[in-house]
Structure 1
Amino acid sequence: MEISTFLAQCLNAVQYGLLLFLVASGLTLIFGIMGVINLAHGSFYMIGAYMAWSLAPLFGDQFVLQLLAGVVLAALLGFVLEWAFFSYLYQRDHLQQVLMTYALILVFEEVRGLLAGNDVHGVTVPPWLSGSVALGDLMSYPVYNLFASGACLLVAVGLYWVVNRTRLGMMIRAGASNRDMVRGLGINIGLLYRVVFAAGVALAALAGMIAAPMTSVYPGMGGQILIICFVVVVIGGIGSISGALIASLLVGFVDTFGKVLFSQFSGLSIYLLMALILVWRPQGLKNKGY
């Protein structure tokens, strides 16, 4: 493998891993803190991608403003969904949670079909991000992919700062460790859950909006990433943000180079990685809440 090809694949792996982290971090927060198995989380990624497609004509070249508007809309959606549906699932068993969230997948798919149809849609890369960077004499790498990696990394740093350096993060970590203690200290655990859920929805939708120009927008796109994100959550440790980041990058590298070096067995690579890590550390790479 030439050095330029190796570098391009490394960049692809980092970009894919960071996108996975945006989706998986929300999933691990919801699962680890609220105790809800949310099968509909991949649908929020799909909703973000369709928002990128629908908002693009309104914002034109203002792609950053488009992302911010999508994040705000997704957070509002998450706030309403937690109040209307998920707040009733905390004391229910996991089977009822699975049935409810699977029903939401069906609802989201039907609404998507009514509003956007079943065609595949493309999202144009903004002109100021449409160039490429040379990697050697024969290869180049899209500037937009570098922007996507940088944006995801910026969000990851911001999320780490919020969770580990702010009062809200302290409450989130405490809620992940002992929700009864948090409730006993007088903290509004219902509002905390609502904020966490809205943040998880916003992160997944942001990942979908960033990925839309690279992968296009199509029906059922949330189901594929949901499975991989559950793998990331299990590897990183349920409820751990830093574990989700490490696991996402591991999955990104294993999946990317597995497709290049062992194309016939690439579909098994991330599941073999999960099996090996669970044999070594059944609880995942990191502890809950850190």
Structure 2
Amino acid sequence: MDLATFAVQCLNAVQYGLLLFLVASGLTLIFGIMGIINLAHGSFYMLGAYLAFSLSPLFGPHFVTMLVCGTLLAALFGYLLEWAFFSYLYQRDHLQQVLMTWALILVFEELRSMLVGNDVHGVKPPEWLAGTVALGELMTYPVYRLFASAACLLIGAALWFTVNRTRLGMMIRAGASNRDMVRGLGIPITRLYRTVFAGGVALAALAGMIAAPMSSVYPGMGGHVLIVCFVVVVIGGIGSIPGALIAALLVGFVDTFGKVFFAELSGIGVYLLMAVILVWRPEGLMKRGY
């Protein structure tokens, strides 16, 4: 493998890992703060991809505006979904949470089939992101993938700032540590939970919108992402956003280079990584922390 090819694979690994981090950060927020095992989280990623497919003809070259509008729509959907369904799950055991969220997956798939059909669709990146940059004399790299990595880094930084440097983040961290004390201090914990859930849905949908021009938009696309994101959350440590970032990058590199060097065994590389880390650190790479 020459240097240019190695650089391309490293960029692919980082881009994939950062995209996984966007989805997994929403999942670890919801589980770490609200204590809900949300199997439907992958459906929000699929929602974002189909939002990109539906909105891109309306916005044309204004791709960033489309991302903002789609994220706001997803956040509103998440806020209403928490009010209608998830608010009843806080005092239920994990089995009922699993059954409820699995049922939501089936509902979302049927709604997707009724609204947009079962065909595979593609989303074209805007013209200003459709070019390539040269890596050496023979290799090129798509500009859109660089944009996707930069966008994920920017969103990750904004998420860290929100959680660690704002009043809302202070309430989120307090609610994760002791929700009864937060409720006793007069903080509206119900509204806080809905805000956190809406944010988690928005992050997953935004990841789906960013990923749509790089891959096909197809039925059931959230299933694989959900499994890998649970792996990321477990490796990083449940409830830890920095841990989710480190784990997502590790998974990105293992998956990308596993497909290059061990194509026949690449499917087990990520799960082997999880097994090794859990044997070494059963609580994950990092303890709960934001």
TM-score band by shorter chain is: over 0.9
Name the SS of the counterpart of 1:267 in structure 2: helix
Q: Are 1:56 and 1:66, in contact at CA under 8 Å, matched by a contact in 2? A: yes
Question: Offset at 1:186?
Answer: 1.4
Which residue pairs with 1:81 in the alignment?
81
User: 1:126-275 counterparts in 2 under 5 A?
Assistant: 126-275=126-275
Which residue number in structure 2 is paired with residue 64 of structure 1? Answer: 64
Alpha-carbon distance in structure 2 between the residues aligned to 1:155 and 1:172: 18
Q: Which residue of 2 aligns with 1:116?
A: 116
Aligned to 1:92: 92
**How big is the shift at 1:289?**
3.0
Q: How far apart are the structure 2 equivalents of 1:174 and 1:162?
A: 14
Q: Which moved more, 1:9-18 or 1:275-284?
A: 275-284
Q: Deviations over 1:11-44 (max 9, x none)?
A: 0000000000000000000011000000000000
Aligned position for 2:15 = 15
Count the aligned residue pairs.
290
State the match for 1:29 in structure 2. Answer: 29
Rounded Cα–Cα distance in structure 1 between residues aligned with 2:115 and 2:165: 41
Conservation of the 8 A alpha-carbon contact between 1:38 and 1:98: yes
Q: CA deviation at 1:136?
A: 1.1
Superposed displacement of residue 94, structure 1: 0.4
Deviations 1:125-170 (A, max 9, x none): 1000000011111110000000000000000000011111111111
Deviations 1:200-235, CA, capped at 9 Å, x for gaps: 000000000000000110000000100000000001
Q: What TM-score, normalized to structure 1?
A: 0.99
| Letter matched to residue 55 of structure 2 | L
What is the alpha-carbon distance in structure 2 between the residues aligned to residue 144 and residue 242 of structure 1?
25
C-alpha distance in 2 between matches for 1:115 and 1:259: 35
Is the CA contact (8 Å cut-off) linking 1:175 and 1:182 kept in structure 2?
yes
Percent of pairs identical after alignment?
A: 78
In 1, Cα distance between the equivalents of 2:35 and 2:116?
Answer: 33
Q: Deviations over 1:179-205 (max 9, x none)?
A: 112112211111110000000000000
Q: Secondary structure at the match of 1:83?
A: helix
- Which residue pairs with 2:45 in the alignment? 45
After TM superposition, the structure 1 stretch with the greater mean CA deviation from structure 2, 226-235 or 171-180, is: 171-180
* 8 Å Cα contact 1:177-1:289 kept in structure 2: no
Unaligned 5+ segments in structure 2 are none
DSSP-derived class of the 1:269 partner? helix
Does 226-235 or 177-186 show the bigger shift? 177-186
Moved over 3 A (4+): none
CA deviations on 1:221-278 (whole Å, 9 max, x unpaired) are 0001000000000011111111111110010011101110111111111111111111
8 Å CA contact retained: 1:255, 1:270? yes
| 5+ residue gaps, structure 1 | none
Give the AA of the match of 1:129: L
**Structure 1 residue 88: deviation in Å?**
0.1
Q: 1:260 corresponds to which letter in structure 2?
A: V
Q: TM-score, normalised by structure 2?
A: 0.99
SS in 2 for 1:52: helix
Distance 2:260 2:176 in 1: 39
